[in-house]
Amino acid sequence: MEASIIIRKAEEKDIDFIVEAIIESAKSGTHINFYCTLFSISDEELKDILHTILLEDFPGHDFYRPGFLIAEVGGHLAGTCCSWIEGEFGEASTIIKANLFLAFLGHDRLSAAKSNFDLIHNLHFDREFGALQIENVYVHPNFRGLGLSNKLITEHIEQYKNKLDSLTKVQIILTKTNDFAFKSYFKLGFQIKAEKHEENDKVLEIFPSKSILLMEKFFA
């Protein structure tokens, strides 16, 4: 008998799993813990920061705990991802996240990371205001092959479509080297809108890929 799959809203008790998801999603199948290399912080310090941010429930970005859905398989935490409407609260998600990291790291440590920001400058997309954003898609290795990422993304889309008749587009950003994710999103109807690339090999010291893709899907 197959284990039951349940998709539900994330709760405070899920935060440790969500932190794991954010970190593994940022690695994009590599050993590069992007946030750690970017800010020169330890894994444990990053986990503490993410845990606190998720507890604050500050909306409008990809570290907003109520924006996550959880997939359970047979009562076990199996997968998660988050969504939000870019600019819904007047600020770009990158600005919100920058301010949150500033609160925890301070000006000096953010200034020290400037050279890293300059290096990955070409690997950045401005998210489109008014479009639904999907981020931090993660399925635990024990539960891969069940289509959980597709189920989670589809549920995010359906929930927002039911709330917002004006919603016409959903976007997702991923590294070009993440073939599995690309194929999964393509099957869901996402198409490549744009690609960005950085020639400098040093970028691989802090970021998991030299190329990123912006994919999007329109609603009928």
Q: What's the pLDDT at 2?
A: 63
**Partners of 151 in the β-ladder:** none
Tell me the C-alpha distance between 97 and 66, whole Å: 16
**CA-to-CA separations, 184 to 13, 96, 107, 126, 163, in angstroms, rounded:** 28, 29, 39, 23, 25
CA distance 187 to 207: 26
The Cβ-side half-sphere exposure at 43, using a 13 Å CA radius, reads 8
pTM exceeding 0.85: yes
Where do the structural domains in the chain lie, given as residue ranges? 5-218
Q: What is the pLDDT of residue 220?
A: 66
Length of the chain in residues, anyone?
220
Separation CA 204–CA 206 (nearest Å) = 5
pLDDT of residue 110: 87
Superfamily covering domain 5-218: Gcn5-related N-acetyltransferase (GNAT) (3.40.630.30)
Residue 34: CA count within 13 A, CB half-sphere: 20
pLDDT (tens, 9 = 90+) of the chain, 220 residues, equals 467 999 999 999 999 999 999 999 999 999 999 999 999 999 999 999 999 999 988 999 999 999 999 999 999 999 999 999 999 999 999 999 999 999 999 989 888 899 999 999 999 999 999 999 999 999 999 999 999 999 999 999 999 999 998 899 999 999 999 999 999 999 999 999 999 999 999 999 999 999 999 999 998 6
